[in-house]
A and B are shown apart, each in its own frame.
Chain A
Amino acid sequence: MYKLTARQLNKHFLEGSLSAEAIVSYFLKRIEAFDPQVGSFLSLYKERALEKAGRLDQKRALGKPLGRLAGVPISIKDNIHVKGEITTCASKFLANYRAVFDATAVRLLEQEDAIILGKTNLDEFAMGSSTENSGLQKTFNPWNLSCVPGGSSGGSTAAVAARLSPISLGTDTGGSVRQPAAFCGIAGFKPTYGRVSRYGLVAYGSSLDQIGPIATSTEDIAMVMEVLGGHDPHDATTINAHPDEYLSILDSPIKGKVIGVPWKFLEDLPHEAKTLFVESLEVMKGLGCSIVNVDLNSLKYSVATYYIIATAEASTNLARFDGIRYGVRSSKAETLEQIYDYSRTEGFGREVKKRILLGTYVLSAGYQDAYYKQAAKVRVKIIDEFNVAFGHCDIIATPVSPFAAFQQGAIQDPLEMYLQDIYTIGVNLAYLPAISVPCGFNKEQKPFGLQFIGARREDVLVCRMAHAYEKATPFATEIPSIFNREA
């Protein structure tokens, strides 16, 4: 059963060849057997999931209408609220925080009869590219357990790659869905900014954050996106339009599509990643696409721009964690000011503190123009450049990451870690949709990802291109050998 996609599981459930209870029990058993090696889950909703499965089986038996995700088990990154359950953001600060409302994305999934298995690990408050910044536990890459899964949605991508959860919801602020999806050899989608409501997602960089699905196939991504997209009065930045239709047009031909490649921006691409990228372009040519060069040279500023804008927004967003209304209050504090100081100092991990300090610095009097305003202008320049590029092509292709998954603890220099996201960050700055699909392995059998970037609101085209590539190549069905067996 672990080899089935979410769409196949849903079909089996609807046809009656698998009960929801059998599906849920099966995946819970896999998680119990394999997750001690992977470390992807922070919490498991065993009773809740089985209870929901029982209700679905009853509904089906009675012939009642079933939702579009009926019988599909899903895991949720632990910075997204599920009412009544703990949301930790992988931070000691929120170790006891119990969500008092559902995130809109979670509500939509459950309305369509998806079954939530539990919550997955992340870099604390989604700040990181390896999941090593989790304040709660380590997560390991299913392809090589000594390596990181990528981040910040590393728990979600590791769970999907090890076939512990057919689908997971992640969040992508600078590449946090796409980069770990590439490191774990699966698909991860970052929708257009505003396509999926952020209500109930604990904010990191509000102008960059976007919830996105992670799965083993683009068809599963499409299935989830048909449910997730849509306007939400609780999030003023959501696009005022109905969800897009994906599945019916996913297979429509891509012949004649023009793919833009920013060769100058990619000039430092390491050999291994470049070889696989060039091979991927050949596949697309074989499918009838043409390749043109596009100028996206301002993307060389994207990491610098991101680390000003994201940290500025983070320092503001994380000001709410004061130890007064929720979260862990320091037991040493005797005065009100000490509650703020001690609770934050004890509750936040090192990377979170660093980003709050950096954000406070770039917003402080005397520096705001030089840092924040300048970064905001460069962001506009990047947006303008993307707009011009999309005048010459339908879609843009780049690698997801310059390297494959690295060893745990191998990167200590913060800047080197930040540069992991050099090919993904521009997408968030420009509010665009993009996907990561598996595009092959290096000699050490570590997966790489191919990224398709669409113009704003061209989410469906992004998925169509990825789907065509996926069908033409054998990589999406590869499973890490140690998990390619029954529990």
Chain B
Amino acid sequence: MITKKRLLYVVIILGMVIFQKSFVPLFFSGSYLPDAVLMLVLTWTIIDGFEEFLWWAVFAGFLCDLFFYTQIGMHIIIFVFTVYFVSFFSRRFLVEISTNGIFLIFFFIIVVTFFSIIISFFALSLNSESWYEIAKYFSNPKDIFFELLFNGFFSLGLFFIIKKVRKFLSTQ
């Protein structure tokens, strides 16, 4: 049962990383690309909680850093923050697909998307002299708005998928 669960988690995370690298950039073809892996981590944390999902988030971050040719650690930090932040609030409030729950999920999406942008900005600035240009790129309100919008759609879709996965695992 545990092996089956682990295998399923590995397959879903790996699949989502490949989806983010090989499907999303060509399909959306713009500077506002949704972050499917970040949304997967966010949604899974709401459902699984901090203790259960922390090391999976580290694994997802490590895979992202490997596949996206970024500095090893960048995505891990983003995802670990996401897990902590989301679990901090979701422990206190009931997060479900209801009016209040959806508002709370959108609040999570906004905060973690901005955090992801900030960390990416700092990681890029470490290896570059032209930080002004990076800042200019990351501060486009239209791009940020669309990124948030697409992240919202992804998150809601993933919420239902992960619920199904949980249900499948609990019936096994």
| A, B: real partners | no
B binding-site residues for A, Cβ under 8 Å? none
